Structure 1
Amino acid sequence: MSHDTTNHSTAASHAAADEEQTASVPAPWLTVMNREIGVKLGDKAFVLSTVLTVLGIIGFTVFTFFMGERTTSYTVAATDDQSLAVVETARDAARPGTTIELESVTPEEARALLESEEIDAAVTRGDGEWVLTARTAMDGTLSGMLSDAARDVTAQQNAAEAGTTTEQLAVGSQVETRTLSDEPDRGVAANVLGFVFAMLFYTAAIIFGMAIANSVLEEKQNRVVEILATAIPVRHILYGKVAGNCVLAYAQIILYGAVGLLGVNVLGRAESVGWILEASGWFIGFFVVGFAAQASIWAVLGSLASRTEDLQSNTGPILSVLIAALLVGLFAKGTWLSVASYVPLVSSVAMPVRMLTDTVHWWEPWLALGLCAAFGLLMFRVGERIYQRAVFQGGQALTWRKALKLER
């Protein structure tokens, strides 16, 4: 009897026993799910990577807070009354986190203080111009503040000589910036959050997706799946693997989000992250649906392979989709981002990123979720059929089409 005939016979016998096993073992997929979770939690590499990621999130949050709270202090010398007005104007207009200390000295004293590095700059009124002096190089931020202050003081002096005021000269020159969207400009924060969404989805999909595929391949190579199939229906092995890795992926994402939000609260930034919390909630929803939609695909890829080399080659299409989702989340704008937000799997990143900056109607994320869920259900049904046929076929790699033609 040929090897293929034996495989077909084995698959058929397991299929015939499925109904009897389902009746005798309550929720058998739970057993497989618990086993998958236990194996993963016992993996030191997985636990270590999770701990390091949590520490990285804490470190990044603390670093961001430190950079935001850090105070930059400058000491500036003024050599006359006009220069004194310039430094005082710059000091009063300094942005939060920047302070300017004033020293009133003679030009000779200012030079000595610069040479001894006791001050950062000196302001002097020259022949019809202002002179800013530094020891070696002028700090760009300080130079900008002092230059703006010098222009303001000069404008006030010129206005006084003309018998008017700077306010009267500036009448009608005010500029108001508006946007078509009612949403506030979230700028860099939205870009950073979009990057985080894209990277989290991509890395979690790779880590847990490959875990599913490798687990299926290993059990197929060691013929463990045939032993399991004598006690558990084949389709329940698939259910358990998908459910176990989904639970782990969801728990990890929620953990990362909780640590980040806790850090923001502890550092006193909670009042400014309401929109981040809302966007993160939608991302988690899309992640749940998006990862579930691809989990069965990874299981199928493992069942189609007969060795590790086969798995590395047939994961190309799904990896391409994940890379596309990553690139869309990082770089797509306008129409491209809008279209991508409705493409299953890619929408798991595109729609949350789009919601950070664009005005999105309330029904759009629900529609995108529905499309992704429908795609996931379709792939799960197809994947279930292929898995039950291919997981017992050893000796050679299979294609999706060839696996569907096998008898169950």
Structure 2
Amino acid sequence: MTDAPHHRPRFTETVGLIAGREISTRLRSKAFVISTLVLMAAVLVSVVLGSVFGSNDDPARVAVVGEASAAAAEAPGLEPVVADDLAAAERMLRAGDVEAIVADEASDPLGITVIGLDSPPNQVVGALSVRPSVELLERAAADPLLAYFVAFGFGIVFFFAALTFGQTIAQSVVEEKQTRIVEILIATVSPRQLLTGKILGNSALALGQVVAIAALAILGLALTGQRVLLGGLGASVVWFVVFFAFGFVMLSALFAATAATVSRLEDVGTVTTPVTMLVMIPYFLVIFFNDNPTVLAVMSYVPFSAPVGMPVRIFLEQAAWWEPLLSLAILLATTAVAVLAGERIYRHSLLRTGARVPFAEALRGR
């Protein structure tokens, strides 16, 4: 009687087990749960404060034309100013005497329309009991303060998530080397499977955290009535999530590879400094140069800063429709190279203890 053949787990099965272990370990960490809740609370508070400080209780002066004056007079929060005709009302609007024009509009089901100068007159629209059609005489650039907060939001979420989970991967790699657990793991799984599982597990957690933050921010904007901001922010948030997903895979491979070259936790900070700088530089660039189209354009095509630079450009409507696709293609290619190089360094350094393994030596496999 012969023994049944031993079933060797497939690559995907092993990777799934390792990724599941990474996820469950992190979810059981109180520090991780608390930091996530604090970050989400901060996002919700910022959305609510934006709604509070963005509101205006002073009556809005509006130029009224024709029978639309009756609707404006009945609306609370509006101060109607009668204009002889639409041309006169437009002169008042351009001169800054009024915030908007309320005029008759036969084609509108409500019979009126609201006309703004270069941005939607939200206070006027909100004061009316109905939602009339809104027109703009000119298209303005995004509000500088709003653009700054959007850039800051993308920058801080990318910085916090990438650095937190990247350092987690690095510390996990060195802990396994220092305690020699990796020697037991390598006896049953390959270094490629181990690295892939670590990257996928932490990437899933990081992406989940980013998606939760984005969903909370969108929900907060919707519940606080900031629908105009929500409409302009939606596309850029979606692109941010997509770019972050691939960008973090690239960074996590580099964090794991650099950490594998050392054997003590005390050396993790030093050896991962170059990767940490790749996370920090986009954050500082977008904070200080969010109003510089040239810097943002360069950032949107550099793989390490594209997850921040391109979404900001999309929000500011500075990017053509094809630019995010081209930037994403560059990021995908760079991620593939980073993963291959990182896997090679990781594989050739994992079982070597003692002195730090030089990167060039690890790449050559000596």
| Bin for the TM-score computed over the shorter chain | 0.7 to 0.9
1:185 corresponds to 2:141: yes
Per the normalisation by structure 2, the TM-score is 0.74
1:323 Cα deviation from its structure 2 partner: 1.9
Are residues 97 and 406 of structure 1, via their aligned partners in 2, closer, same or farther at CA, if it must alter by over 3 Å?
farther
Q: Are 1:380 and 2:339 an aligned pair?
A: yes
- What RMSD, in angstroms, separates the aligned Cα atoms of the two structures? 2.9
Mapped pair 1:31 → 2:17? yes
Among 289, 294, 307, the residue aligned to 1:348: 307
Equivalent position amino acid for 2:283 in 1: L
Partner amino acid, structure 2, of 1:186: A
Deviations 1:83-142 (A, max 9, x none): xxxxxxxxx9xxx9799xxxxxxxxxxxxxxxxxxxxxxxxxxxxxxxxxxxxxxxxxxx
5+ residue gaps, structure 1, are 1-19, 74-91, 100-166
Shift of 1:262: 1.2
- Deviation of residue 216 (structure 1)? 0.4
Q: How does 1:5-404 map to 2 (within 5 A)?
A: 27-69=13-55, 71=57, 184-187=140-143, 188-332=145-289, 333-404=292-363
CA gap of 1:58–1:26, structure 2 versus 1, over 3 A, is closer
Return closer, same or farther for 1:98/1:299 CA change in 2, 3 Å cut-off: farther
Aligned to 2:69: none
- Separation in 2 of the partners of 1:241 and 1:273? 35
Number of aligned residue pairs: give it: 295
Say if 2:349 and 2:362, in contact at 8 Å, map to a contact too: yes
Q: Residue in 1 aligned with 2:131?
A: none
CA distance in 2, matches of 1:313, 1:344: 23
- Larger Rg belongs to: 1
CA apart distance, 1:355: 2.0
Secondary structure class of the residue paired with 1:273: helix
In 1, the alpha carbon distance for the partners of 2:146 and 2:345 equals 44
* Alpha-carbon distance in 2 for matches of 1:365, 1:24: 36
Contact residue 194 and residue 329 of structure 1 kept, 8 A: yes
How many Å apart are 1:25 and its aligned residue? 6.8
The one-letter code of the counterpart of 1:380 is: V
Q: CA deviation at 1:223?
A: 0.9
Task: Letter of the 1:244 partner, please give it.
Answer: G
Distance in structure 1 (CA, Å) of the matches to 2:43 and 2:178:
38
Q: CA deviation at 1:232?
A: 1.6
Given the superposition, is the C-alpha separation of residues 66 and 397 from structure 1 closer, same or farther in structure 2, using an over 3 Å criterion? same
For 2:24, the aligned partner's letter is G
Stretches of structure 2 that go unaligned for 5 or more consecutive residues are 1-5, 60-71, 80-87, 97-115, 120-137
Q: Work out the CA distance in 2 between the residues paired with 1:319 and 1:283.
A: 20
Runs (4 or more) in structure 1 with deviation over 4 Å come to 20-26, 96-99, 173-179
**Partner amino acid, structure 1, of 2:204:** V
Residues 229 and 274 (structure 1), Cα distance of their counterparts in 2 relative to 1, 3 Å cut: same
Once the two structures are TM-superposed, the CA of residue 44 in structure 1 deviates from its matched residue by 0.4
Distance 1:354 1:64 in 2: 21
CA separation in 2, counterparts of 1:26 and 1:208?
A: 22
CA offset digits 1:251-308 (Å, max 9, x no partner) = 0000011111112222222354111011111111111121111110011111011112
TM-score (norm 1): 0.66
> What is the SS of the residue equivalent to 2:238?
helix
For the residue of structure 1 that corresponds to 2:188, the secondary structure is: coil
